[in-house]
Each structure stands twice: as structure tokens, then as C-alpha cells.
Amino acid sequence: MTVTIKFWSYFRDHTHCESTEIELPDSATLGEAHLAVLNQFPALAAMKNSTLKAVGVDYQDDDFALSNGDEVSLFPPVQGG
């Protein structure tokens, strides 16, 4: 299956792109997609445990089952002042 990964905030700076498409097995989870992205963009690895992940408009856990054509958004942790 193919899913679109969208990068937000300074994740765009680290990846040098707004989005990418990745190929995954049909039974892939959000956590597996995140690992595939970290392999492609190792600059994001240091933020692995604090990355917020959404499928469509809803935040999801790593065990969320993905479907072909899903749009995954990766966000850095929220910062405030």
C-alpha cells in the first residue's frame, strides 16, 4: 500500500520536504510507517519518542492499522513559552 507522510513545523526543515509517499505492506501499522520514515530521514530519529502522529485529522497510537491512501501527519512536540 502507499501512504502519504506530511511533515509539519521544523520537521520540514529536517526533511527538506513537505511530504513524501512510502510503500508499506498491506498490514502495516502507524508505528511501522513511522519507523520507515525514520529510516528514510534519520535526522528525525532523535525526536522519535516525542513525535505526534495523526492519520487524517485524528491522532492515533502506533498500533493503528493503516489503509492504502491514508495521509499521515508527523508533528514535533508542542512548544510554548
Q: Over the stretch 30-73, which tens digit does the pLDDT of each residue have?
A: 999 999 999 999 999 999 999 999 999 999 999 999 999 999 99
Side chain identity at 6, as an amino acid letter?
Answer: K
Q: Is 41 left (phi over 0), alpha (psi -120 to 50) or beta?
A: beta
Contact 5, 37 (CB under 8 A): yes
Judge whether residue 78 has pLDDT over 90: no
pTM: 0.92
